[in-house]
Structure 1
Amino acid sequence: MFNIYQWNAIKYVWSRSKGWLFASILFSIINGFLPFANLWVAMSLIDAVANYFQAQNADPVPVFLLLAGQFILSLVSSLCSHIKQYMDSRVEAKLGYEVQQTILKKTASVPILYYDSPDFHNHVNRVSGDGARLLAPLRTFFSLVEMVLSMGSYLTFLIVIHWSLVVVSLLTAIPIFLIQTKYGKKRYYLLKQQTPVAREAGYYSSLLKDRDTAKEIRLFNLESFFLQKWAMKHLQSMKETLLLERRQHTANIGLDALTGLFYVGIATVIIWLASQTRLSVGGFISIVQAIQGAQGVLSRISGLLASTYEENLYLKDYYTLLAFEDPELKDYKRDKECPNPIQQIILEDVSFRYYGGGEEILKNIHLKISANQKIAIVGENGSGKTTLIKCLIGLYSVTKGRVLIDGININEITKQSLNQQIAVIFQDFVRYLLNVSENIGVGDAERMTHRDEIVQAARQSGVDRFVRQLPQGYDTQLGRTFADGEDLSGGQWQRVALGRALFRNSQIVILDEPTAALDPIAEMELFKQFQKLAENKIAIFISHRMAAAKVADQIIVMKEGQIAEMGTHEELMELEQEYYRMYQSQAQWYTSDESSEKAVAAWTN
């Protein structure tokens, strides 16, 4: 009855909510037998009332007893229904929290390479449901138990009257099951098809509501442009949904007409039975109720079995997401600690391509970096500089070759141990909507409560100078999104990011285009601060500005995913090739303004 994904969900729910399971079984059994009891009491009550009005001096006690019985059955049904609904809601809320927590943990730990794939984002979007869907297999099972028992009650009552009533009742369910199964599949595949469109519509919607984009959208009068793009995607999705709804309702109209014909057949059978046998008023009414009840149960069973297919597709997506892993790491055990201190990093014939195939972004990279060495990586946009860094620090798993730290394959080193030795300031570093202390403390979450060390890092990075002017000092909320938030300038945020890296106290420090948006004075200040950060460490600096590369121990020139040249500034200038061309193209910067060279001189002083 259940496939592997449903069994996984059942085992998980069993491990978390045994009490709910036993209660659900009990309520399902009780609710399953209630229809038979209700039919018998209703038939007896109608006949007892009819006899009471027809007979003289009839005893009213049987009528009141049956009324009391009907009241008790109604009360039991209500209690079972509401208690079960409350328990379901409580378990759904609990599992919903755990499901979302599991999804968030997985998306936070899944290899970065998946984030370059639109299919991954669509997949995550589809599984962002709640606990109800994880409960679906068991709820379906208990509902089926209850409905089968209810069906048994109705059919037992009908078969005592005549077997033909059972046949006519069962025939009604076949077209209902076929139609609901058909449209259950169509609803899921429509959802899957619409996920990319819905994500696009969500993106345009977020642009119109986001604080960071509000200024540019208003200045460039982009409101109508993005509103039109949102409307186009939203209406496309809406039209497809409404088309499916229209087709399903059209099918349901035909189904209702067919059901009406079955009722005519049932009425004919009942009239024939009334002419052949002595049928009481209570018996007649109870037969009609039993047939309607049986058809209602069959309809719900058909709908339940049809929706099971749809829910199973969700569970397949959910457990497929949990199984995501880096295909390049499946044969490695991450059980080694990162060397401390690090003596050497070697890249052996490293190549890389993004998840899903395509051209190689890096090709046959050979590189050796020694302890305390200062490396500059230069090259035009798209040459592979940042990708090389991501492979070097383990964010991307190489598709060919090896990255070795003191002879240990980086894929064999535990993630926590490796990450602890790396501090990176990317050009697009995150500006967290947290307070100042937390914004620096995220550099090492395990030490986030060490306020003295955070303040020390803030002083070294220059953050302390402006933090003391903020309303609540280090407890000041940053960003205007939340209440009482304060804005920082670009340069101040840059210092916060540097303080974050200083607080991490790692062996490898990397700056990825950190001065791209800074003026020469701010750039000089950043280099001075970076001197403190890079002291006695492996330091790697990625930049378009040749002045930064000039004082490095070694310069790596990237071009089209390969190392085109490697050496010191003097060595590469003598070659008069790629580096020479790039340097000469920026020569006027150095003759007109020597501030950059003065700034980076701190790197080797």
Structure 2
Amino acid sequence: MSQAEGDRHSRGLRYALSQLPLVPRILGLVYRASPGWTTLRVALVVLQGAIPLGIVLATRSLIDLLASGGLSGAELLARRDLLVLGGALVALIGLAELLKSVSGWVGETQGEIVRDHLAGLVHEKAVQADLSFYETPAYYDQLHRAKEDARVRPAQMLDSCATLLQAGVTALSMVLLLASYTLWIPLLLLVTAVPGVFLLLHESVRRHRWAARITPQERRAFYYDYLLTAEESAAEIRVFDLGDAFRDAYQSIRRTIRDERFALGRKEAWGQLLLGLFGLLGLGVACLFALIRFLAGALTLGDLALFYQAFERGQSSVRQLVARLRRLYVDLLFVGNLTSFLDLEPSVVTRSADPKPFRFEDAIRFENVSFRYPGTEALVLRNIDLELPKGSVTALVGPNGAGKTTLLKLLCRLYDPSEGRITIDGVDLRELDLEDYRRRLAVLFQTPLLFHGTAAENVGLGDLVRGPDEALVHRAAEASGADEFLRALPDGYRTELGRTYVGGHQLSGGQWQRISLARAFYRQAPLLLLDEPTSSMDPWSEQEWLRRMRDHLAEATALIVTHRPAPIGLATSVKRLDLGRLGGCTDDVGHLTVPAAGTRQTAAHGSDT
């Protein structure tokens, strides 16, 4: 081994040892997920580990009895102790098989429970994570590894610990049994395991480093797999004939990963072969020693059989220990991915232990707000001073990339300003309870959620706290312009939307947008935030939507982000954002045409504040 390889191995070992404190934590998670199943499994494992000792001792006694000589077959069969020993041996073997089957079932059931529990923890943390986490490739790598590791690692660790306990009990009992004959044979048994420990350390560190290195490639392969199978990309793949290119890209990445994995497996297989030969040599030495002692009259035939069985079972248990230690060691290297993800803490949180109550009687104000996305230097918003009075409808216009959607996200407290503050009736949003504040918002995002469930469920997602309210669902859909086409569906509001499930009905982009708007209306919140609300509507649908919205916004406080002229007609004021800076209130919004007189829009000039 070179100096560089030795240093890498040493660093990997130190890292693995640093992960040891995670073992109690993971086992604690496992126990909390399934306390009853965990206790039952431990009991079964201990019993399974102890049974081989009983089998070996019963076998020795039975062979010694059979080899005692001087008894005919009929006399042997008439002996009660022979029948008891034979029955005990059969019972122990049968019990071992029964426990093996029951333990397998218990382990599989417990594994499913633990996987679902940990998947729930990952989902909970993903929902709590700051939106900024989704802006970095590192987060996606971490999320990918956490999801994969939550699916397999804890269950593997549980299997490894169960096997370690079972093999440990068996190995210890065999070592103590062999030690009653001579001390150097148990030492030989342990010495044959030492090379395996060093080999597993080296292989595990190498495999962990390889897995961390290929995570971006794995994610890219998953991305191509998604593109090739997703409805969203199906049309362009066919029109632009992208199928072969994407398939080749996927296969190329998978081929590279597969070849590297095969190479690792080949090296590990050679190592395991050498370990097996070394163990076979140890077994040969032990058997030779026992044979010599038997020929010398120091051991009975039963002792000879016991000696072979005990050493072979002990060696098998030690090999299991080494293999499971290797598996546990690998899992320790990887389980840090899961725990580090679960330890992520969001920065957008309720800042005060005693948050101030929500009140909205005056206005929302952006006070000298500047913002840059985490991990970047460029300011997206610069020194924004903006007032949204209660009862006003403000249209926010400007070119692509001006920062309009970012401003809306700040108002949702998906991010906090880098400089300045946002207040509502003079209270910084960061001093309000985050969950309570967000419940006061009804939002239509530029790319809304297309939930593949029933139409009623889609609308009802706007307020799960309220619970199902069929009448309100219909009123929200009517206000958004979705009621007419939803009633015309095969099962009306009970129709499954999307083609993911059997019986699903696909909608147009404009129809999905109106359902998402109905979801926002269903919440009946005092603040309405709309990001490009008519971008997927045709002109006729847009005019009908405007007619309905004028009634709905009669007493609303709303912010509408738009590129299109029509929604501006709903506004009481228009703000223009360009290159992160806010201009004055104006009728002149560049390439947009201001609607005719009679709308709610007012003409004002000068400062925004």
User: How far off is 1:386 after superposition?
Assistant: 0.7
The whole-number CA distance in structure 2 between the counterparts of 1:224 and 1:72 is 62
Cα pair distance change 1:489/1:150, threshold 3 Å: closer
Pair 1:461 & 2:459 matched: no
Cα pair distance change 1:529/1:237, threshold 3 Å: farther
User: How far off is 1:172 after superposition?
Assistant: 0.8
| 8 Å Cα contact 1:337/1:418 also seen in 2 | no
Question: Among residues 275, 286, 297, which one is paired with 1:266 in the alignment?
Answer: 286
| 8 Å Cα contact 1:376/1:540 also seen in 2 | yes
Q: Which residue of 1 aligns with 2:450?
A: 431
Q: Which amino acid aligns with 1:42?
A: T
Cα pair distance change 1:359/1:53, threshold 3 Å: farther
Question: Among residues 85, 90, 94, which one is paired with 2:104 in the alignment?
Answer: 85
* SS at 2:76 equivalent: coil
Q: Which residue of 1 aligns with 2:530?
A: 511
Pair 1:222 & 2:222 matched: no
Q: Which amino acid aligns with 1:316?
A: G
Cα pair distance change 1:509/1:312, threshold 3 Å: same
| 8 Å Cα contact 2:456/2:493 also seen in 1 | yes
Please show how residues 308-457 of structure 1 align to structure 2 within 5 Å.
308-327=328-347, 329=349, 331-333=351-353, 335-339=355-359, 341-457=360-476
Cα pair distance change 1:498/1:152, threshold 3 Å: closer
User: How far off is 1:604 after superposition?
Assistant: 7.0
User: How far off is 1:358 after superposition?
Assistant: 4.4
User: How far off is 1:105 after superposition?
Assistant: 2.3
Please show how residues 486-497 of structure 1 align to structure 2 within 5 Å.
486-497=505-516
Q: Which residue of 2 aligns with 1:597?
A: 595
* SS at 1:368 equivalent: strand
Q: Which residue of 2 aligns with 1:154?
A: 174
Cα pair distance change 1:548/1:76, threshold 3 Å: closer
Question: Among residues 300, 304, 312, which one is paired with 1:280 in the alignment?
Answer: 300
The whole-number CA distance in structure 2 between the counterparts of 1:33 and 1:239 is 42
Q: Which residue of 1 aligns with 2:5?
A: none
Further displaced range: 25-34 or 469-478: 25-34
Cα pair distance change 1:256/1:146, threshold 3 Å: closer
| 8 Å Cα contact 1:435/1:475 also seen in 2 | yes
* SS at 2:462 equivalent: helix
Percent identity at matched positions? 25
Q: Which residue of 2 aligns with 1:306?
A: 326
The whole-number CA distance in structure 2 between the counterparts of 1:343 and 1:53 is 109
| 8 Å Cα contact 1:9/1:134 also seen in 2 | yes
Deviation digits for residues 65-84 of structure 1 (CA, Å, limit 9, x no counterpart): 32111012112322333333
Please show how residues 475-486 of structure 1 align to structure 2 within 5 Å.
475-486=494-505
| 8 Å Cα contact 2:164/2:320 also seen in 1 | no
Cα pair distance change 1:135/1:482, threshold 3 Å: closer
Pair 1:559 & 2:557 matched: no
* SS at 1:161 equivalent: coil
The whole-number CA distance in structure 2 between the counterparts of 1:415 and 1:408 is 13
* SS at 2:423 equivalent: strand
Q: Which residue of 1 aligns with 2:13?
A: none
Q: Which residue of 2 aligns with 1:568?
A: 586
Give the alignment's Cα RMSD to 1 decimal: 2.9
Cα pair distance change 1:464/1:331, threshold 3 Å: closer
Deviation digits for residues 290-335 of structure 1 (CA, Å, limit 9, x no counterpart): 1111111111112222222222344433232222222354854473
| 8 Å Cα contact 1:372/1:537 also seen in 2 | yes
User: How far off is 1:391 after superposition?
Assistant: 0.8
| 8 Å Cα contact 2:125/2:342 also seen in 1 | yes
User: How far off is 1:225 after superposition?
Assistant: 1.3
Q: Which amino acid aligns with 2:134?
A: Y
Q: Which amino acid aligns with 2:557?
A: I
Deviation digits for residues 429-449 of structure 1 (CA, Å, limit 9, x no counterpart): 222212222222222223341
Cα pair distance change 1:109/1:35, threshold 3 Å: same
User: How far off is 1:154 after superposition?
Assistant: 1.0
Provide the aligned length of Structure 1 versus Structure 2: 583
Q: Which residue of 1 aligns with 2:10?
A: none
The whole-number CA distance in structure 2 between the counterparts of 1:567 and 1:125 is 46
The whole-number CA distance in structure 2 between the counterparts of 1:81 and 1:519 is 66
Question: Among residues 113, 136, 147, which one is paired with 1:117 in the alignment?
Answer: 136
Pair 1:75 & 2:73 matched: no
How does the TM-score come out when normalised to structure 2?
A: 0.87
Question: Among residues 498, 501, 525, which one is paired with 2:517 in the alignment?
Answer: 498
Gaps of 5+ in 2: 1-16, 604-609
The whole-number CA distance in structure 2 between the counterparts of 1:53 and 1:196 is 75
Deviation digits for residues 196-243 of structure 1 (CA, Å, limit 9, x no counterpart): 222221221122222232222112211101111211222222122112
The whole-number CA distance in structure 2 between the counterparts of 1:207 and 1:250 is 39
* SS at 2:498 equivalent: coil
Deviation digits for residues 270-307 of structure 1 (CA, Å, limit 9, x no counterpart): 34434544333332222122111111111111222222
Q: Which amino acid aligns with 2:171?
A: M
Further displaced range: 497-506 or 548-557: 548-557
| 8 Å Cα contact 1:470/1:476 also seen in 2 | yes
The whole-number CA distance in structure 1 between the counterparts of 2:231 and 2:597 is 34
| 8 Å Cα contact 2:568/2:595 also seen in 1 | no
Q: Which residue of 2 aligns with 1:576?
A: none
* SS at 1:427 equivalent: coil
Cα pair distance change 1:53/1:134, threshold 3 Å: farther
Q: Which amino acid aligns with 1:372?
A: G
Gaps of 5+ in 1: 574-578, 591-595
The whole-number CA distance in structure 2 between the counterparts of 1:246 and 1:116 is 39
* SS at 1:446 equivalent: coil
Q: Which amino acid aligns with 1:285?
A: A
* SS at 2:599 equivalent: helix
Deviation digits for residues 478-532 of structure 1 (CA, Å, limit 9, x no counterpart): 2222222222233322322222222221222122123334443333333333323
Further displaced range: 29-38 or 234-243: 29-38
Question: Among residues 11, 15, 23, which one is paired with 2:28 in the alignment?
Answer: 11
| 8 Å Cα contact 1:550/1:568 also seen in 2 | no
Deviation digits for residues 336-387 of structure 1 (CA, Å, limit 9, x no counterpart): 4422x34211223333333444433333333222112222222222221111
Deviation digits for residues 6-30 of structure 1 (CA, Å, limit 9, x no counterpart): 2223334444544344434433443
Q: Which residue of 2 aligns with 1:45?
A: 62
| 8 Å Cα contact 2:160/2:328 also seen in 1 | yes
* SS at 1:230 equivalent: helix
Question: Among residues 240, 243, 249, which one is paired with 2:260 in the alignment?
Answer: 240
The whole-number CA distance in structure 2 between the counterparts of 1:511 and 1:220 is 33
* SS at 2:576 equivalent: strand
Cα pair distance change 1:462/1:69, threshold 3 Å: same
Pair 1:194 & 2:214 matched: yes
The whole-number CA distance in structure 1 between the counterparts of 2:222 and 2:257 is 12
| 8 Å Cα contact 2:348/2:414 also seen in 1 | no
The whole-number CA distance in structure 1 between the counterparts of 2:46 and 2:554 is 73
User: How far off is 1:245 after superposition?
Assistant: 0.9
More helix by share: 1
Deviation digits for residues 90-147 of structure 1 (CA, Å, limit 9, x no counterpart): 3222222222222222222322221222222222222225577446666655544433
* SS at 2:414 equivalent: coil
| 8 Å Cα contact 2:384/2:582 also seen in 1 | no
The whole-number CA distance in structure 2 between the counterparts of 1:541 and 1:53 is 104
Cα pair distance change 1:600/1:301, threshold 3 Å: farther
| 8 Å Cα contact 1:429/1:497 also seen in 2 | yes
The whole-number CA distance in structure 1 between the counterparts of 2:351 and 2:570 is 41
User: How far off is 1:603 after superposition?
Assistant: 6.0
Q: Which residue of 2 aligns with 1:593?
A: none
How does the TM-score come out when normalised to structure 1?
A: 0.88
